[in-house]
Structure 1
Amino acid sequence: MPKVVDHEERRAEIADGVWRVIRRDGYAALSVRTVAAETGRSVGAVRHYFEGQDALVAFAMQTLADRVGERVRRLGADATDLPGLVRLLETVLPLDAARRAESEVWLALTMAARTDESLGAVWRQVHTRLRGLMESCVLTVQQVYGVDLDVATETTRLHALTDGLALHGTLEPRLGARRIRAALTAHLQQLAGSPAAAVDD
């Protein structure tokens, strides 16, 4: 019998190859040919799934966003207090090797999205979803802890803090998961009207 090919699995494997090329060699080295070599496939085999580099990279970016989004969905129902909100927001922060790798790839793709419309469309969609996540967290703090917040302003502040922690954690790994988590926790405690606990260096 002919072998049954799982096309979605093949596409996901190719997306993994895109991420590995970006992390090792940088976005400028990315092409259908380099991804084919990385995944042990012919150029024709990669083009069977993707018409060209634009479609390939857009799919890889969307796949990465969906992977993070699935983690957010899994934890969202339990984010009903400060510890739960911290755990939820940690899903988008580079607190371990796997998430740091995702963040490195996302940063490279974000820079490329400034001039690549196919990537720009994915980036704007993800940015909107992230802002929605931040707003949901602010609303949860307001409702659970009975504080009166300027939701729009605090959403922007939380989004900026989270983006900044992701950027610093990606570019300066020595910052460490402990310091990132402490900064995020302190901010949420401030929103909830709770005193922030000091964290030793």
Structure 2
Amino acid sequence: MAVAVSLVAGAVAALAQSGMAPASPTANVVDGSGHLRVPADYRTLYQALGTWAIAADNGQGSKEMHTVYASPGAIDAYRKTGHFPDGAVLVKEVFATSTNEMTTGTVSRADKPKGWFVMVRDSKGTHPGNPLWGDGWGWSWFDADKPLKTTSTDYQSDCQGCHVPAQATDWIYVDGYPVLRR
């Protein structure tokens, strides 16, 4: 037992010295001024919350697919408390779709990336005066060719309007994510 504890302690120390120690969920998402960016590693480190299909305006199929990911630990914390904890990061990928006939019927699939929507939970208001932070979140949209620079200028005018129907659930459409159910 003592050998196992020593090995684990040694591994943690080696990771810390190598600069590979686990960082907070927001370490590669938010800078000191509150500017957000798309985390480069979200597909491998984050957990999938769910996917939404946005119906085509005309005809069959979907015009967009939205796949949403949550930073490590966010889902477990939500299941325990019914709220996302401070620092939780949500990343929504938005794709244009292709719709084709397949043996199972008419099928839409994600095709070309359109961009990302990133939110960071912040119930304490850690970035006062930053127009992309408020109502308990940091909010930003990123075009597919610019994951490091948001096109959003003010969360109230650029982001929040789409989330008004989900205001009672901390601005997140939690009913679309079965993984959050206890």
More helix by share: 1
Give the TM-score of the pair, scaled to structure 2: 0.30
More strand by share: 2
